[in-house]
Amino acid sequence: MVKGSHLRRWVAALVTVAVFAGAVVFATLSRESPAAPFQPKPDRMESGDWTMFGGDATRNFVNPRAKGLPVNWTDWDEEKTKGTLRPANIKWAVDLGSRSYGGPVVAGGKVFVGTNNQKPRDPKWVKDGKPIDLGVLMCFSEKDGTFLWQRVYPKLSAGRVVDWPLEGLCSTPTIEGDRMYYCTNRCEAVCSDTNGNEIWKLDMIGKLRVFPHNLTVCSPLVVGDAVWLITANGVDDGHINVPEPKAPSFLKLDKATGNVLWQSNLPTVKLTEPNTEADQEAYIKRLVNRGELIQHGQWSNPAYAVVGGQPQFVFPGGDGWIYSFDPEGKLLWKFDCNPKDAVYELGSKGTRNDFIATPVIYDGKVYIGVGQDPEHLVGVGHLYCIDMTKRGDVSPELVVDNSVFPPKTKPNPNSAQVWHYGGPTTPADRKKLRRNYYFGRTMSTCAVKDGLVYAADLNGYLNCLDAETGKLYWTHFTGAETWASPYWADGKIYMGNDAGHVLVFAHGREKKLLAENLMPGPVRATPVAANGVLYVMTNNKLYAIIP
């Protein structure tokens, strides 16, 4: 995943799977007890709280209840190069660690944030005058920012390959009533109450042999009596071998106990036993480039909706495919989000991607862009709109001959692609756009509202497109790399970037920039609103901002 100094600015947003080779394998570790018929969760939030990544199970970064949010909260000097936060706009501000990616979420009068321990709240987590590296979940009072409690998680002894230094706790918690669900930096799924008392914990390394690549970040999805999550299973430090190809990528857990109800380790590839290490490496690269094996890590989140009466759980896989399951784990459809001639390569030259963005479900369709670990730099990307009513392999193309690369293909008559935006530019557009692709790799999740899709890429461009046709209405360069997601609230779009700017746009088909506010640090987590307050998190502080 993310490594080096450039890397660990990560996870706002804050993704093992591969091509479905004919059959899906599920291992049921515990039998689901008899229960009432499956009851889908309501589509939109029912209070002014913001209780999970994306707001609800559709993961659409749209808040329909927020009203009266601030537009400007920065005073600028004459040169308009530096901004000063207006004290009247800051309800409260609190220190976090040095890197903060999990959340914020707001529920029941409390605000929850995942961070690290570089500004210790407890002196026992200091050794020889230096903070001990930990993952930390912090809880504050929504009213005034008072620090209430924290839970800490020591780093895994295996080191950076599975638990990158100083990245902290990157999972955005999901709140349901007085229960909270999240993943720790130790590759554990946790249920606690909102006072921080642990109810159950699943060690996915010890119990399921998951090998998380660099980080575990999933924001669990809670629907009915179950918890759904992506495990982070991935490659080792050599970025080629998948140490645990039989470990699950996707899980369904009993909400009350944490017991595993089903798991999927897509793809079910049988690795060969070649004569030499070089042969094995070449073989694995072929599998990755054919979309049949995890290419790096898995740091996305599942989404859920009922479409045409069918409940669907949508999982983005580490092989660049999206998979949809019914509640019992039956595969409904799969979609390859890479061109069949795409090649995975570390750095900016590679054309094969997987997912850090989360799928958004809107009007029976999935909206998602592909991307990579930001340490791999910017590169060509794709944004898709996918029809959820079709079944089977619904990719744009079907492979007819896999013995060569690029493989021989034919158009898929059953394709679920509604539209696609991205890919290489024409020579004329390349000169105009000053880059050789239309849409770049992305870490950002979409916001879809009133038939408009707002989608950002890592290069720092925010795009507004037609949700039905993919027609581009406008684009705006924010001035810096963008890890956060666009957020629709109160008729406005809020967009943070790596330079610490929060840009505010009017909602609509015509571009109208209302304000550009400069925060005292990078804004890599998505700004969110709850109960009339806008929460903006920099790498080391959380601000509660009012009009």
304-341: pLDDT as tens digits: 999 999 999 999 999 999 999 999 999 999 999 999 99
Q: What is the mean pLDDT of residues 471-484?
A: 97
The pLDDT assigned to 78 comes to: 63
Strand ranges in 359-481 using DSSP code E only, listed in sequence order:
360-362, 365-369, 382-387, 392-393, 397-401, 408-411, 417-422, 447-449, 452-456, 461-466, 472-477
pLDDT at 11: 39
Pairing of strands 392-393, 331-336: parallel
Neighbours of 79 (CB within 10 A): 6
Which residues make Cβ contacts (< 8 Å) with residue 238, sequence separation at least 6? none
Query: What does residue 198 show for φ and ψ, rounded to 5 degrees?
Result: -70, 135
Contact 105, 175 (CB under 8 A): yes
- Provide the residue type at 68 as one letter: G
Helix or strand (DSSP H, E) at 138? strand 134-141
The answer to whether the peptide bond before residue 302 is cis (omega within 30 degrees of 0) is no
Residues 6+ apart with CB under 8 A from 158: none
Residue 19: CATH number of its domain: 2.130.10.10
pLDDT in tens, 243-299: 998 999 999 999 999 999 999 998 777 777 667 778 888 888 889 999 989 999 999
Cβ neighbours for 305, distance < 8 A, ≥ 6 positions apart: 43, 57, 58, 311, 312, 361, 364, 388
pLDDT tens string 447-458: 999 999 999 999
**Residue-wise pLDDT tens digits, 377-419:** 999 999 999 999 999 999 999 999 988 999 999 999 999 999 9
**pLDDT (0 to 100) of residue 9:** 39
Residue 4: pLDDT over 50: no
pLDDT for 149 beyond 60: yes
User: Using an 8 Å Cβ cutoff, are 119 and 96 in contact?
Assistant: yes
What is the pLDDT, as a whole number, of residue 83? 82
Q: Give DSSP secondary structure letters for 244-293.
A: -TTS-SEEEEETTT--EEEEE--S-------SSHHHHHHHHHHHHHTT-S
The pLDDT score that the predictor gives to residue 34 is: 32
Q: Looking at the DSSP assignment, which residues form a beta bridge with residue 250?
A: 230, 264
What 3-state DSSP class applies to 321? strand
The vertex-528 CA angle with 523 and 532, nearest 5°, equals 130
At 427, is the secondary structure helix, strand, or coil?
helix
SS3 61: coil
pLDDT at residue number 363: 97
- Tokens 């089977």 — which residue? 392
Nearest to 501 by CA among 514, 488, 516, 481: 516
Residue 7: CA count within 13 A, CB half-sphere = 16
Question: Contact, 227 vs 189, CB < 8 A?
Answer: yes
In this prediction the pTM is: 0.91
Range 524-542 average pLDDT:
98
pLDDT of residue 42: 43
In angstroms, rounded to a whole number, what is the distance separating the alpha carbons of residues 215 and 221?
Answer: 18
Confidence at residue 45, expressed as pLDDT on a 0 to 100 scale: 53
Contacts of 191 (CB under 8 A, 6+ apart): 179, 180, 181, 198, 199, 200, 201, 227, 255, 258
- The domain tally of the chain equals 1
Residue-wise pLDDT for 15-38, tens only, equals: 333 333 333 333 333 323 333 344
Element spanning 505, H or E: strand 501-506
Structural domain boundaries, residue 156? 4-32+40-545
List Cβ neighbours of 206 (8 Å cut-off, separation of 6 or more): none
27 vs 68, which has greater pLDDT?
Answer: 68
Residue 519 DSSP code: P
Per-chain mean pLDDT for the chain = 90
- The verdict on whether omega for the bond into residue 104 sits within 30 degrees of 0, i.e. cis, is yes
Average pLDDT over residues 485-511: 98
